[in-house]
Amino acid sequence: MHRAFLVSLFCQIGVHGIMMGFPLFIYIVSIIFHFDGNEVGYVAIVLASLHGAMSTLAMILFNRPLFQIAKSKAQSLFFPRTISVGDVSLVSSSLTRPNDSVQNRN
């Protein structure tokens, strides 16, 4: 259990390092080489803004209890075991009881 926890912890640290370190590296390289284009800055901003989402995803994927809970929630959301049907009392009542107008004719 401790080994799985440490692997999970190192993977989450790796996500932080990549998602925050790579944009910092891009900014430093663009300053050193005097790169004037905005595209590199946009990529760095997008990567830095996805840091929180990727960190949360890594936490769910690498922690077994959280992964099991997320898996069961996703299965119940996309593959429900029961199918709920709306009110069918009008259909069933018209099929089981004879119509009042038919009784009045006899």
Average confidence score pLDDT of the chain: 79
Looking up tokens 């038919």, which residue turns up?
Answer: 102
Looking up tokens 């050193």, which residue turns up?
Answer: 32
Instruction: Report the C-alpha gap between 48 and 41 in whole angstroms.
Output: 10
Of the pLDDT bands very low, low, confident and very high (cuts 50, 70, 90), residue 29 is confident
**What phi and psi values does residue 63 have, to the nearest 5 degrees?**
-105, 115
Angle at 17 between CA 63 and CA 25, to 5 degrees: 160
Higher-confidence position of 83 and 44: 44
Asked whether the whole model's pTM tops 0.85, one would answer no
Q: Which pLDDT tens digit goes with each residue over 66-105? A: 899 999 999 888 887 776 666 555 555 455 555 555 555 5
pLDDT at 48: 86
Q: Which pLDDT tens digit goes with each residue over 13-25? A: 898 888 889 888 8
